[in-house]
Amino acid sequence: MKRFAFALIFFLFPFSFFLVAQSTQFGVVRLKVRYKSSEGTKDLPRKRFFLIKGSIDQNRALIEKIKQTSLASLECYYRSHGASEALIKWLKDNDCESVYCREIEDKYLSGAEAVPEFQKAFEQALNELKNREVARRWLTNYLAPEIRSGFYDEKQKMIQALLSGPEASTKAKVMSIMTDRKGTGYLTNIEPGTYTISNVVASETDKTSIVWICEREVKATDLGTAMKRPMMLSNEADPKVKCEVVERPLAACN
Amino acid sequence: MTKRAFIFILVCVGVAALASAQTRRRPRTSRPATQTQAPRGSAAKYSAFLHSSDKHKSLTCNECHKVPTGWAAKRDFPDVADFPDHDACVRCHRQQFFTRQSMIGTGPAICTVCHVRAAPREDMRFAFGKPNNSNQQAKAKDERQFTIEFPHDQHQNVIARWRGVQSVRLESHHGFKSLKADDKKPDYNNCSICHQTDMSLAIVALAAPNTDPAMLHPFKSMPRSHDSCFNCHWKNQKPVAADCAGCHQPAATFIPELGRKRISAKFAHEGGKGEHIAECTTCHINITRASTTRGLTPDVPINACAACHRDSKKTTYPKAVTIETELDQFKKTGECTYCHAADVGKKRPPPSHDAAVQ
C-alpha cells in the first residue's frame, strides 16, 4: 500500500507544478481609447484609466457616483480663479492641466507672450534665489496654489474619493495606467477575473467630456495575444465591448 | 598657590575659552525646549553618528539640517550641501565636547563624526552624506540610511500632456546637432523632462565602422540631485525642501538604484538609424502604472521590438535587422549580437522571442 502511495505521489508530482504554473498565469489587456468628434476620430492621449475589481453590476454603487461626479472644465476652473488670458492661453497651447507640464521658457517672462503670473513669480524667485536661471526653473514655487496645480489637485481629490471604496475593500491600491499619445495603454500582470475599467473622472476632449465605464473579463494570456486583440473604448456604440459612456458637452464658463 | 592648582586653573580657563569660541563661531539658533544633555557614556560611543539612535529618531530632520546649508561653493542652486552647524550637536552633546576628559589625548571623539581629525583648528571634514560611521568597513555598494520615496505615477500625471511634434536638438558626444526643419522628431516631454541622454554611460565599445555617436550613449539618465525636486518642491508645494521626511524615510540599509541592469546593451534610444521615434511608454509598457520607484519596471517586452524588427515588417522598415535573423544567427554562432552584449547574447533566447515573431 505504502509503495503504491509513493508511486502515485511520484507520478503526480510533476503535474502539481503544471497546476501551480497554470494558476499563476496572468492576463494582459491592451487598451485603445478613441473618441469621435466633429473633427473626426481621434486617439485619447495621456489619460489615466483604472482597473477596478468586479463587474459593472458588482460596482454599481461606485459607478453611479462616477456618473454623478462632474468637474469644471480646465478653462472654467482657471477663469474662476482669476487666471490671466495669457496663462489660460499658455495652458491650452501647451496642453497642460497644471503649470508643471512644461518648462517655463524665457519668452513667457517678458515681451509679447509674457504671462503676468509667471512674471510676478519670477521676480519673487529672483529676489530670493539671486540667480536668474534657478529663479526661472524654480518659479512655480512662487505661484499661488490654485494657479500652480489647483485644477489637477481637485481632479485627484475626486479620483481618490471615488476609489477609496474599492481600495478599502481590496486593501490594495487600484491599478492604473496612462494611455500614450495614440490612446494605447497596457494593463499587465492581472489576475484572471472580471474587471471594471474606467477613467473615473471625465476626460476633456475638443468640445465634450467623456467618462468610460467598461467591463472586461480577463483571462490568462500573453502579451502578444493581447497586442493583437486590443480592447477598444470609444464614445460610439460598440456591441463587442460592454461599456457605459457618459459624454457631456463642455459647459460655457460663467 | 601650588604648581598643581595653577595648572588646574589654566586648564579650566582653556576649556572655557574653547567652549566660548565654539559657541560664538556661528550665530546661535534658539534651542528647542525639549533638548536634554546626552549622558556621558564612553568616548568611543560618540565617535559614530547614527540617525537611528532613539534620541536622534525623536528629532525632526530640520532640527539639525537647515535648508539650505553650505551650498554656495558646491552647487548652483540652494541645497543642503554640508553637515549641520556645531550647535546641532553641541546643544545635546556639550559634555562630549567640553569635559576635561574629552580634551586629553586625541581630543573629543565626537568631533570625528564629521571632522577627519579632532583638533580645534582642524576644519577638514568627511564628504557630506558620508560621515564617519566609526570603524565601519568600506562597503562595496553605496548604502544609505534613508530611502527615497518618489510617486512616479503622480509626477507622470502632472507633466504628461501631449503637445505634438516639435523641433528638437540631438545631443551627441560631439556636441549639439540641430535638426533640419523637415527632420523633426517628437519631443516626449513627459519623460524627457527628467530623463535625458546619459552622457556618462557608454556601455558598448563600438567597432570603428559604426560611427553613429548616438550608439555611444545609448541610455537615459535618472535625476540625481535635489535640483530635480526643488524646482517644484522648494517651497509651498508639499513635500517642501525643509520637510526631508516627505521624501526620505529611515531604513536599515538602502542602496539607491544608480543604474538598471541593461539586457539589450546595444539598444540606443537615439539609434535605430533615426527611426526610434516611438513614444517612451509605447515600449516601456509598465512604466505608467508605477506608483513608486521601488519595483518600478521600465522593462521592454520583446513584443515592443517586434512591432518593427520582424520579417513581416521588412516592407515598412527595409533596413531593420529582424528577430528572426538574430534567431538564425544564434543557431549558427551561438550568440545574438545585434541587441545584446556577450553576457546576455550567448544565452539561449527565451520562448518569448520565438512567440513574438509567430
Q: What is the DSSP string of B257-308?
A: --S---SSTT--TT-GGGT--S-HHHHSTTGGG-SSSTT------HHHHHTT
Mean pLDDT of A4-14: 57
Q: What is the mean pLDDT of chain A?
A: 90
Mean pLDDT of B42-64: 85
How many residues are present in chain A? 254
Nearest-CA distance from B99 to chain A in Å? 42
User: What is the DSSP secondary structure assignment for residue B254, as one 8-state letter?
Assistant: E
* pLDDT beyond 60 at B211: no
Confidence of residue A212 (pLDDT cuts 50, 70, 90): very high
A26-72+148-249 CATH, one of 2.60.40, 1.25.40, 1.10.150, 1.10.1390: 2.60.40
Q: Considering only CB atoms, which chain A residues are within 8 Å of B290?
A: none
How much is the pTM? 0.80
Mean pLDDT of A209-213: 97
* pLDDT beyond 60 at B19: no
Q: What percent of chain A has pLDDT over 90?
A: 74
Lowest-confidence range among A27-36, A163-172, B127-136, B248-257?
B127-136
Highest mean pLDDT among A17-21, A102-106, A112-116, B16-20: A112-116
At residue B256, the pLDDT reads 64
Mean pLDDT of B154-167: 65
At residue B95, the pLDDT reads 87
Q: What is the mean pLDDT of chain B?
A: 76
Q: Considering only CB atoms, which chain B residues are within 8 Å of A134?
A: 76-78
At residue A71, the pLDDT reads 92
Confidence of residue B274 (pLDDT cuts 50, 70, 90): low
Q: What is the rounded CA–CA span in Å between residue A86 and residue A97?
A: 15
User: What is the DSSP secondary structure assignment for residue B210, as one 8-state letter?
Assistant: -
Confidence of residue B131 (pLDDT cuts 50, 70, 90): low
At residue A185, the pLDDT reads 95
Q: Cβ of A46 and B190 within 8 Å? A: yes
**Per residue in B70-126, pLDDT tens?**
888 888 899 999 999 999 999 999 988 887 766 666 788 888 888 888 877 777 888
> Which three three-digit cell numbers place residue B285?
509598457
* pLDDT beyond 80 at A225: yes
* pLDDT beyond 50 at B174: no
Lowest-confidence range among A171-185, A198-212, B213-227?
B213-227
Nearest-CA distance from B281 to chain A in Å? 6
**Per residue in A53-72, pLDDT tens?**
999 999 999 999 999 999 99
Q: What percent of chain B has pLDDT over 90?
A: 25
Task: With beta carbons less than 8 A apart as the criterion, state whether B251 and B146 touch.
Answer: yes
* pLDDT beyond 50 at B182: no
Lowest-confidence range among B36-50, B225-239, B277-291?
B36-50
**Annotated domain spans of chain A:** 26-72+148-249, 75-146
Tell me: ipTM over 0.90.
Answer: no
Q: Cβ of A173 and B153 within 8 Å? A: no
**Buried/exposed code over B122-161 (b: 16+ C-beta within 10 A; e: otherwise):** eeebeeeeebbbeeeeeeeeeeebbbbebebbeebbbbbb
**Buried/exposed code over B168-204 (b: 16+ C-beta within 10 A; e: otherwise):** eeebbeeeeeeeeeeeebebbbbbebebebbeeeebb
Confidence of residue A153 (pLDDT cuts 50, 70, 90): very high
* CB atoms closer than 10 angstroms to residue A164: 12
Of the candidates B159, B233, B285, the beta carbon closest to that of A186 is on B285
Closest listed residue to residue A129, CA positions, set B76, B63, B215: B76
At residue A122, the pLDDT reads 98
Confidence of residue B297 (pLDDT cuts 50, 70, 90): low
Closest listed residue to residue A141, CA positions, set B151, B152, B77, B84: B77
Task: With beta carbons less than 8 A apart as the criterion, state whether A205 and A7 touch.
Answer: no
Pairing of strands A242-249, A208-218: antiparallel
Confidence of residue B168 (pLDDT cuts 50, 70, 90): very low
Task: With beta carbons less than 8 A apart as the criterion, state whether B356 and B323 touch.
Answer: yes
Interface test with A, best of B166, B289, B291 (most A CBs within 10 A): B289
**Per residue in A169-204, pLDDT tens?**
888 889 999 998 889 999 999 999 999 999 999 999
Task: With beta carbons less than 8 A apart as the criterion, state whether B110 and B97 touch.
Answer: yes
Q: Which residue of B has its CA nearest to A139?
A: B231
At residue B276, the pLDDT reads 79
For residue A218, give the 3-state DSSP assignment. Answer: strand
* pLDDT beyond 70 at B324: yes
Q: Considering only CB atoms, which chain B residues are within 8 Å of A177?
A: 288-289
Interface test with B, best of A160, A206, A223 (most B CBs within 10 A): A223
Closest listed residue to residue B311, CA positions, set B266, B355, B357: B357
**Buried/exposed code over A174-191 (b: 16+ C-beta within 10 A; e: otherwise):** bbbbbbbbbbbbbbbebe
At residue B198, the pLDDT reads 77
